[in-house]
Structure 1
């Protein structure tokens, strides 16, 4: 089976690939990455595929849409498309769940995956986004498909104060759609050794409408929403080798949308918002708080040849979902999570000869994650889950002849979860019957595993660099959902084993001429016990635990033939299979909630005159028809056929002078009427909703 999969991935790898680049310059070969090894290193030293979304790309995409999940769908080839709502459900990376970080602080809630982690920060404070693709355990629990790390802005330059002010409006060619956003970034040095960054951003969205002018579905809508983001970062250099930094980042989003829900018919009539919402008083849905505190200390010369980095952090997160009547007496649920963590990184230079270098990175991670899902009236939907994770790790790197880089590492996961006693909710099945509430006795769960990675990168010449790796991820994903649907009176009788993912990757990258860059990657990831949402006979959702294999290819081409124009694109394709009976029969496909359709991203960016930049982005999703409907002609959840669609975005900016710039972006330039992928694969009337129609954004920026 593995040989067949590897052969399929290799054969598919002869396709043409691309990755979007908004810069007019050839890809910077000296680009620095922090996330892959928890230290700064050149991207040419990393033995795996990494996507860096730089600040220029982020600002360019911000002109079109400020939603970070939308920005990522246009810049990361193997990331599934955005739902266009507050949830990133289905937005997997290489067919698996992704771990989201802000400056290394985990934002994801794998104990109860609430799918609100990607949309947890305003893009105005992000310096770059580092996406590590493929399973990795470098940051612990939850990175089955990889890592998305938002690296926030830092102070640059020697001025006491400098800043960027932005104001903008958004709107559609329909009434009530006007929105507004403003942000202010300040940075500088108070003294020679004391620097700071301060930022605040606010956005108010209007009504959001499809290409026909109808209100989008109010379920998890980003319409009529207030978004806030604040950041304060203070740093002090004791001397050239010692630095301490403290930061706070806060994000909040709350919707006051009051639209009634007009449920459509799957595949025929879209669900829309209509009239005024009536009935129950509800809590505004959104993420009312996401607080992140971090203190870091760096010592570049702890002793001869050894540096030290220590991070202490805390995250306090709460997200609120819309009203649901799927359980007795109905209500709104919250996912509430608090994390406390510490990381200690030692980096020791083993040797540094003329033709080779060796170093070892080692340390320990400590994380306490307290997560629960509760209703607004206090009822528990999941029990209190208190996880403590202590993980020592070691990574060795050898650089031979400035061409061959070898890396290998080990991490020992020691996880304990205390689960409280609780009563399951009495829920209403689709046939109108009830499942009775039962008392579940809590207890202690313990998990231990040794996971590792090994990889190589051979930089033969500028035209071709070959890389390959094997890496593992270890996660306890959706423990809360497994517990909340319990039919047993004790947790020891439930299937709560963790997910261990083995990821194999082989690729090549290089610069063929001064104006052409490329990368091509094939991958296979396996797990003896995965986790996928499937629909039971009564159409309720359960989690299927079964062996899985996901494989695919991706890559990019980037052309910059002359200084004033660049163009290129990316391609990604994947497939996933499973053996539900664990009998070696992998003829069953993993459903479309995880395996997204092939995706092409293409772009052209030009500077026809010195101060004017114009560009056009294209996203093309291929059709995906991998399952058959049942005897009644209905698809089950995750198996709906997804039709293809193509969307174009326009973006432009004009630099009035060195301080002032104006920008204009148009999302869905040709006002295409279509539905996002989740509307089709979910195969439910309530989820069948149209995507956003044409919307424009006009922004003014002042730098000082």
Structure 2
């Protein structure tokens, strides 16, 4: 079968631009440690770009809104603009996928790539964020563009510490119809006997949302992905830890993510832009998320071979998507009701289920007896997952999948001189995939034609897909180095590999969705028996191994700190399903870009800074070996992005931050036919004012889209190449009390 996998990725790091408070006048990068290589390392030793987002920056993002995706969009030059919905659709990093971790536990669903995770993470429970740029296989599949690890809060020694916060957010277009509350409460503590605990819970509501022109935004602008309105969301984190003598620790952690969206109207996709269809009430079930994650971690700093970490985890995931109806050309395929006048099945709404459990073993071994300062990080992973997706009537929409992954890795770090450190590693992974037989339900589809309706409709009869057992494996590698220019700055560069599993569930769901398997409406079951069955092997999924090359410089000089990096990302295998051939297109891809961050501490009170990102890419659209077309907008919607900001702290503790965020448009030819879909450039301004309150309190007011500009959301627009508008002016007021 196909090769698949990947090697450990070396990490690298650069502190993120300050979101709230002015930075110190000097930056000691060597004191920052990161865990992106599965063992703590000084930032200055890691030969890849990494940003460390601290709690102060997270607090400012909570005030501004937008959640985790908004945070990354503001501080990470390679991340796409936040699409402002509950979905992660088209939110890419360096034009590729981003692997989302919470305390090192993967939260994505690689066998069916439909992530909402960034919109579900509660930033109130997060202590810091580590964002590793570039391909990596260190935590498994999915990190072809980068890896983000949300590290939750830890308890501090002493009496219980309580934090309570509240916020009200509203759109100035209609405050009464849009005002929405959020409340969060947390407690943490650590006793002298070694027992510690963290408990955090947040409840959030969203009501109507509006664009800059005062128009109500739809609940499902991106066709089945969910929206940013009319939902309730609950997040709960519970951690219990115990420190034993001799550097040993046991920690039990649980996360609960719940979302319930209640759309009121269907969406009209036939106009100039996505908008609510006020004449068609929404008749499907609520959009929902019910995800539970539990993990148990044991660490021993005095293990016989160095430092030991064993992590066991289990994720129970349920995601229900929007009900949609036939609407040519944007929703030209739906499950069939067998009534041509109303072709959409009442069950045309799906729920994804995924159970994923695993164990990660990591050992960090010092090798001073061989080479002073050398370290070897090594270990193994075992993961088993089961994924399936059904219509509301219980029919499977793709073949149920079972996969067991086993992997082993080793990563060596050697300081060749006082200034030069080299890191390199290999990971070998094996996938054992079991594909069940299933019957794809009948579908109603349409293609462009010269008819009064502008299309010709036909039936895709139910099709039996036969499965089987498949195994595929591959090694992946990384190699890089850092060179210290000064005590506070270094050059870095290297090569790393990551891999993406094809969205196997999506492909079996689309098995036989072409005119070659079509029947006329008058004879909906015209296929002979010989053509009513297709084998999973005919779909021929291949894994995509991505090569990442990167070089840069980072550090601080006096009152300035910053980074500059350039990268190239290549791959030979594709992940795009071609319904005409019923196979995955195995096209080459080539992505390149530049990223920069910088901050200057003008005075102790005033800081100025910004980020800049550029990425662009081409691919082989007809598999002839030549890079003949630009990557589609859902991979790269805005080649240029940038943010400029200023923050000032007054003597009385009041602070203000003003930022301007801008992005370019795009109008590239994405295939040999000359197809192109324009993305418009835009810019917006945001501001936050924070004031201390006696007794450990803090009050704030923030304004996003300060001038209420009417903006096209580039990421939302790129999903279906249909214009989707961004939020208009929003105002948030809030209060936080710590005691």
From 648, 656, 659, the counterpart of 1:614: 656
1:605 aligned onto 2:626: no
Per the alignment, do residues 138 and 682 of structure 1 end up closer, same or farther by CA in structure 2, a change over 3 Å counting?
Answer: closer
For residues 303 and 233 of structure 2, what CA distance do their matches in structure 1 show? 42
Per the alignment, do residues 543 and 622 of structure 1 end up closer, same or farther by CA in structure 2, a change over 3 Å counting?
Answer: farther
- Give the TM-score normalised by structure 1: 0.91
For residues 195 and 102 of structure 1, what CA distance do their matches in structure 2 show? 19
Contact kept? 2:165, 2:185, Cα under 8 Å: yes
From 689, 709, 713, the counterpart of 1:652: 689
> What is the match of residue 522 of structure 2?
none
Give CA-to-partner distance per residue, 1:257-280, whole Å, 9 cap, x none: 3134344523xxx33235475363
For residues 577 and 147 of structure 2, what CA distance do their matches in structure 1 show? 21
> What is the match of residue 524 of structure 1?
568
Contact kept? 2:78, 2:614, Cα under 8 Å: yes
Give 1:251 shift: 0.9
> What is the match of residue 278 of structure 1?
281
Per the alignment, do residues 179 and 279 of structure 1 end up closer, same or farther by CA in structure 2, a change over 3 Å counting?
Answer: closer
1:667 aligned onto 2:688: no
Give 1:682 shift: 4.3
Give 1:666 shift: 0.9
Give 1:470 shift: 0.7
For residues 230 and 279 of structure 2, what CA distance do their matches in structure 1 show? 13
For residues 582 and 341 of structure 1, what CA distance do their matches in structure 2 show? 37
For residues 671 and 108 of structure 1, what CA distance do their matches in structure 2 show? 35
For residues 313 and 695 of structure 2, what CA distance do their matches in structure 1 show? 38
Give CA-to-partner distance per residue, 1:536-566, whole Å, 9 cap, x none: 79xx999643111111111111111211011
SS in 2 for 1:176: helix
From 375, 380, 389, the counterpart of 1:359: 375
> What is the match of residue 506 of structure 1?
551
Q: Note the 1:205-604 alignment, pairs <5 A.
A: 205-219=206-220, 220-263=226-269, 265-266=271-272, 270-273=273-276, 275=278, 278=281, 280=283, 282-287=284-289, 289-303=290-304, 306-325=306-325, 326-329=334-337, 330=345, 331-351=348-368, 356-431=372-447, 432-462=457-487, 464-487=489-512, 489-512=534-557, 514-532=558-576, 544-597=585-638, 598-604=640-646
Contact kept? 1:50, 1:131, Cα under 8 Å: yes
Give 1:323 shift: 0.6
Calculate the aligned-residue CA RMSD, in Å. 2.3
For residues 227 and 386 of structure 2, what CA distance do their matches in structure 1 show? 28
SS in 1 for 2:111: helix
> What is the match of residue 516 of structure 2?
none
SS in 2 for 1:142: coil
Per the alignment, do residues 695 and 520 of structure 1 end up closer, same or farther by CA in structure 2, a change over 3 Å counting?
Answer: same
Give 1:115 shift: 2.9
Give CA-to-partner distance per residue, 1:103-127, whole Å, 9 cap, x none: 1111111211113232231111011
More displaced 10-residue stretch of structure 1: 244-253 or 188-197: 188-197
Aligned length: 669
> What is the match of residue 143 of structure 2?
143
For residues 48 and 86 of structure 2, what CA distance do their matches in structure 1 show? 31
Give CA-to-partner distance per residue, 1:490-538, whole Å, 9 cap, x none: 11122201111111111111212x211121111111111022478x79x
Per the alignment, do residues 396 and 97 of structure 1 end up closer, same or farther by CA in structure 2, a change over 3 Å counting?
Answer: same
Contact kept? 1:545, 1:580, Cα under 8 Å: no
Query: Which blocks of at least 5 consecutive residues in structure 1 are unaligned?
Result: 1-16
Per the alignment, do residues 77 and 84 of structure 1 end up closer, same or farther by CA in structure 2, a change over 3 Å counting?
Answer: same
> What is the match of residue 107 of structure 1?
107
SS in 2 for 1:56: helix
Contact kept? 1:261, 1:274, Cα under 8 Å: yes
Contact kept? 2:300, 2:307, Cα under 8 Å: yes
Contact kept? 2:80, 2:715, Cα under 8 Å: no
Per the alignment, do residues 249 and 33 of structure 1 end up closer, same or farther by CA in structure 2, a change over 3 Å counting?
Answer: farther
Per the alignment, do residues 689 and 143 of structure 1 end up closer, same or farther by CA in structure 2, a change over 3 Å counting?
Answer: same
SS in 1 for 2:667: coil
For residues 321 and 530 of structure 1, what CA distance do their matches in structure 2 show? 26
For residues 583 and 407 of structure 1, what CA distance do their matches in structure 2 show? 36
Give CA-to-partner distance per residue, 1:425-452, whole Å, 9 cap, x none: 3222233222222101111121110111
- Give the TM-score normalised by structure 2: 0.87
Give 1:177 shift: 0.6
Contact kept? 1:441, 1:489, Cα under 8 Å: yes
Per the alignment, do residues 314 and 28 of structure 1 end up closer, same or farther by CA in structure 2, a change over 3 Å counting?
Answer: farther
